[in-house]
Amino acid sequence: MIRKGFRKVLAPIRSFVDHHARLHRWRQKGDRLVANHPLKHLFWEATFQCNLTCRHCGSSCGSRIPEGLLTAAEVKAAFQQIADDFMARKIVLSITGGEPLLRKDLAECCAAITFHGFRAGIVTNGTLATEERARELVDAGIPHYAVSLDGPPDAHDWLRGGNNAYDRTTRGIHNLLGTRGVKHVEVLSCIHPRTIDRLEETEKIVFDLGVGTWRLFIIDPIGRADEGLYLDSPQFRKLLAFVAERRADPNYPIRIAFTEQGYLGFPYEFSVRPSGFMCDAGIRTASVLYDGAICGCPSMSRRLLQGNIKTDRFWEVWQHGFKEYRNRTREGRPGCASCGVFEYCRGGCMHLFDEELGGPVHCHYKQLGGKP
């Protein structure tokens, strides 16, 4: 009896200690990765043009074809160059935008890219994924799709600027799922104050669609996003508890995870996603933007561009550039100076760190009520 009571008291302490031991090992792994910086994940921002006008769009995309957009010939040359210097089949390529399906030559570019063995997938709002388009893209070697669907019809349309987006997106998902050769479709949902109390409703929609994975995230204060779209501490904790509970359920029918956004601290790291937090921009991840600019991830400030694929050899830039990305000593900068969890967080996501401010424009740990 006494022993049982003792165990009950010890359990949370043990869980806390285990959590930190795991975080520590995770950090050591991160440090080894910085030293070796093996390129594992590449983004290609296929265009900066978009057919929707989402309130939260971090890239502030516009309706016109952007000036300087890489031509199909330049895209092919860029990926030929990368494939000559790296093992393409070890690299996961996410094709994003803007809305990538607005490129009429997308399938032509994809066929040339996947010919080298890149493991490619497309991130899309789904509105242009007709049966014909889905067939064409699968034939071009793209079996993976991530489609943004942010909630029930009214909430999705509100965030996505109307345009009957919900109906068009869900039709696109059905078209993708119905295309032979599509291996995996996942739904991406941006959760905000209007949808935080409608998670179960959204979950039912995701189940009914029949996709394999549901990834949830919150809105970053970048681009067009304004404060009305951010979750407060209780709302953010509610979202993470929702995800953690489902991940702990061995009978949950699909894969579910919170994205790699921000350091979350105890008890969330490892329970809401398969790994701990590590912003690996410039360490394992790089991007080729719509105009050929090379940087860490598509949301990065232009200040952190490292070169351009039209004029630079990507391999040279990867090997000898990205210095600021690989040196995250944020100590001494006012924003993270005295932070008690700096060891695990290292200043958060690189695209949210503001050099002028000397700190992050947004700290997820603080958003959860943590005291950095």
Ligand X SMILES: C[S@@+](CC[C@H](N)C(=O)[O-])C[C@H]1O[C@@H](n2cnc3c(N)ncnc32)[C@H](O)[C@@H]1O
**Which residues of this protein are in contact with ligand SF4, per CB under 6 A?**
50, 52-54, 57, 59, 61, 97-99, 125, 263, 335-336, 339, 341-342, 345, 347-348, 360, 363, 365-366, 372
Q: Nearer Cβ to ligand X, position 99 or 280? A: 99
Contact partner at residue 219 from ligand X, ligand SF4, none, CB < 5 to 8 Å by partner kind: ligand X
Contact partner at residue 153 from ligand SF4, ligand X, none, CB < 5 to 8 Å by partner kind: none
- Please report how close the Cβ of residue 190 comes to ligand X at its closest, in angstroms: 5
Q: Nearer Cβ to ligand SF4, position 321 or 348? A: 348
Give the distance from CA 286 to its chain's centroid. 13
The two structure tokens encoding residue 365: 């740990």
Between helices 131-139 and 106-115, what is the axis angle to 10°?
20
Q: Nearer Cβ to ligand SF4, position 112 or 157? A: 157
* Residues 68 and 99: beta-carbon distance below 8 Å: no
Give the three-class secondary structure for 287. strand
One DSSP character per residue, 237-255 reads HHHHHHHHHHHT-TT-SSE
* Residues 47 and 221: beta-carbon distance below 8 Å: no
**Alpha-carbon span 72 to 31, nearest angstrom:** 37
Instruction: Using CB positions, name the residue nearest to ligand X.
Output: 58
Write b or e for each residue in 287-321: b if 16 or more Cβ atoms lie within 10 A of its Cβ, otherwise e.
bbbbbbbbbbbbbbeeebbbbbbeebebeebbeeb
- Please report how close the Cβ of residue 270 comes to ligand SF4 at its closest, in angstroms: 17
Q: Which residue has the tokens 């958003």?
A: 367
Q: Which of residues 185-224 bind ligand X (CB under 6 A)?
A: 188, 190, 217, 219-220, 222-223
Q: Is 96 in the site for ligand X (CB under 6 A)?
A: yes
Q: CA torsion, points 239, 245, 249, 252, in degrees to nearest 10?
A: -20
Q: Nearer Cβ to ligand X, position 151 or 372? A: 151
- Please report how close the Cβ of residue 189 comes to ligand SF4 at its closest, in angstroms: 12
Binding mask 261-300 for ligand X (x = CB under 6 A): ----------------------------------------
Contact pick of 102, 191, 225, 240 for ligand X (by CB under 6 A): 225
CA-based Rg of the chain, rounded to a whole angstrom?
Answer: 21
Q: Is 133 in the site for ligand X (CB under 6 A)?
A: no
Contact partner at residue 213 from ligand SF4, ligand X, none, CB < 5 to 8 Å by partner kind: none
Q: Nearer Cβ to ligand SF4, position 98 or 276? A: 98
Q: Nearer Cβ to ligand SF4, position 112 or 291? A: 291
Contact partner at residue 83 from ligand SF4, ligand X, none, CB < 5 to 8 Å by partner kind: none
- Please report how close the Cβ of residue 212 comes to ligand SF4 at its closest, in angstroms: 21
Q: Residue 352 — φ and ψ, nearest 5°?
A: -105, 0
Among 320, 289, 290, which Cα is nearest to 85's? 320
Sign of the C-alpha dihedral, residues 70, 73, 79, 85? negative
Contacts of 212 (CB under 8 A, 6+ apart): 184, 185, 186, 254, 255
**Alpha-carbon span 334 to 331, nearest angstrom:** 8
Q: Nearer Cβ to ligand X, position 83 or 165? A: 165
The two structure tokens encoding residue 369: 């009520």
Instruction: State the residues that interact with ligand X by CB under 6 A.
Output: 50, 56-59, 96-97, 99, 123-125, 148, 188, 190, 217, 219-220, 222-223, 225
